[in-house]
Chains A and B, each alone.
Chain A
Amino acid sequence: MHASFINYRNYRYGFSALALCLGAVLAYVIDARREAQSGGTWLGYTLGTVAAVLIVYLALYGVRRRSFRSPSGSASGWLSAHIYLGVATLCIAALHCAFEFGRNVHTAAFVLLLLVVVSGGWGVYVYARYPGLISRQRGNLSRETLLEQLSKLDGRARALASTLDNRIQALVDHAIRRTHLGGGVWEQLRGRDLSAILIPDAGRGAAFAQIVSNEGQHVLIQRLAQEHAAAHDATFDARLQELLEVAGEKAVLVGKLQKDIQLQGLLQFWLYLHLPLCFGLLAALLIHVLAVFFYW
């Protein structure tokens, strides 16, 4: 049945990466007895070459992702290898430089590698955790279905409000028009409800209005509840009650959609760090290699 990229073929690449790291550590420990380790020793160059090859291989995942006719194994296998070998590369690169760091382009390359691996690790965490959260909180429904439900609820609220007085009609209409979903990157990631509502400005008289936050449809529900409490006509009362229920349902639905947008945003956000860092790493690696051979 379904096998995730983490336990792909019973952790095949996890064990390969572990073996690679153990081999490198063993070689490092043995060779350290013979001579002081640095990037310039025989083992240093070997480990550096292995790490550079691994980095190029890891970057090729981006190419494999876009070659849909590729006979070179499944994308999930590649991703699994990408993750485990990525962590192994960090270990090998650290052994390659024998933990010597300074203010130079070589360390810059290592730091970039570290950032790439850390951002990738964040990616693994969100890929492993968020799909389940998203699926659970959506409750078997797609985002499109939730949006359809929202538009139906708005339609019902408008229809109900149209049978009540103008004030309530305006209130409902403003609440619908100022319901806020999504927004810019930051707004999506924060997932706060920025819905607003236009209400009469009590301090300045009936002709003035002000926009206030309607987070969780709170103000709309409160105002409708006030109207409800003050109503005396039975039909009016029943419709208001229904409108209140619709507003309550909408609050839950808007919350669900906002959470969905936030989780989807977080699911993708790490890539916007990981990819530029990858390109930075490749550039730094190239400079590092050229510099090493130039000063050889």
Chain B
Amino acid sequence: MSGNGAAGAADGSVSGVRITDLHKRYGDTLALDGLTLSARPGEVLGIAGPNGAGKSTMIKVLAGEVTADSGAILIDDVDWSPAIGASRVAIVHQEPQVFPNLTVADNLLVGRERRRFMRHGLNDDERRLMEDLAIADVADQRLESLPLAVQQRTEIARALAQDARVFLFDEPNSALTEDESDDLFRRMRRLADAGRVVILVSHRLAELVAQCDRVAIILDGRCRTELRGDGLTQDAIARELVVGRTQRAAASAVARREGGSAGASLVLSGWTHQQGEFRDIELDIRTGEIVALVGVEGSGARELVRSIAGFEKGSGRIEVAGRQGSRAVAAGTGFVAADRQESLFSNLSVGENIVSRLSGEITSFLGALRRARMAQLAAKFRDSFSVRVHNLAQPIRSLSGGNQQKVALAAAIIKRPEVLVLEEPTRGVDVASKAEIYTLMREYASDHHAIVMFCTEVPEVYEAADRAHVVSDGRLSPPLFVAQYGDVESLASDITRLERHGMVEALAMTAAPD
């Protein structure tokens, strides 16, 4: 940690990046609602916020992929827009935006060739740059054959060669090893010390605290607050992220369970991912239970949840409704992906989407569709899921995000799977629809089914789940029983602690209450 980064930039100075009153609306949703932020040269500004808070929209605006509806961005007190200075802002993603088929050196040069039609070598500045970033040794190798960390450093070198002023790191290390990510953060700090503006967007609270001088919390398209100095702790960030988002919906006030009913719906034993994202998972879910598996990207939680539905390969024992093996998984689970691009058919109507997973129920002789039956089923589920739609024939894209998500859920639930497997069930969904979705989930679970969901947001766990396990580094924490928490902040604290310290402290901690 270092609070001394503000090299020559006293507060109130105009150099650096100033984002003022940025607005961006997508259809019904306000992604940015007057976002105001400033980042000074010499410091590392952290940005935290739940999914859908507007972070990625902000990044897209800075990357020039999206134009804001209103607001201003100033770099060093000069109006900036991607059209006039795209290379002033460099975005370093988890997936480097480079040319994998070219060599490292060519990557540095491409787009800035000084003479047309002629190959040329690097100049001294460029060579020094490559040495600084420890990529000079591999200058002649094609990028695709090199590790991700090298690709990222090449991306940084590319940006430096173009004299970028602002470096925005967007979850840059989710696919890096610990050593690689330490190295990346050292380089990030060095960029700041050299007087460039550095912004780090991350979900990992520990990193934000360790790497940043200041952390801005973005909620609902605005900068809610900033934490700095002694106030900058993981617990503080975790609490700020969930504050004001906790009116427990009426439905979720339904008595929480702590053990579920007698019947085990899903049993995992020695369950290990083929690519090693999770290992030796022991999990036992009963009918009537909603279990949240919480973890940041790269923790293995997403893979674990997908493997329960059979969409990631795992080895070990899996038992669904008393039957073992992949057939039982295929027959007994239904899956809804977080991304609606992966759960809905955009060329089909709302009604067709609802019944898209059915076959026998909607056909008669020779596989002929029973249109009336389809209409009837779709209408029934539209009503019980309160999907707001003029007509079931409307294209699915004409619905709001919340209604689309309800259709995606209906399409899975219509098959009545024993275990419903959900990935971030309310991502990009408005508040009212969220409450409705939680109610639907509760009703389905109460009807002798089990639900497993992958969550990244604590409020979702608090409102929807009976039990949560934190996944960190491919391991499952002991259970947290949501009913034992009176407020979301304390749940957020415990989840954060489990994410931070892994299993050692977790064991000590849960020995006490239960």
A binds B: no
Interface residues of A (CB under 8 A from B): none
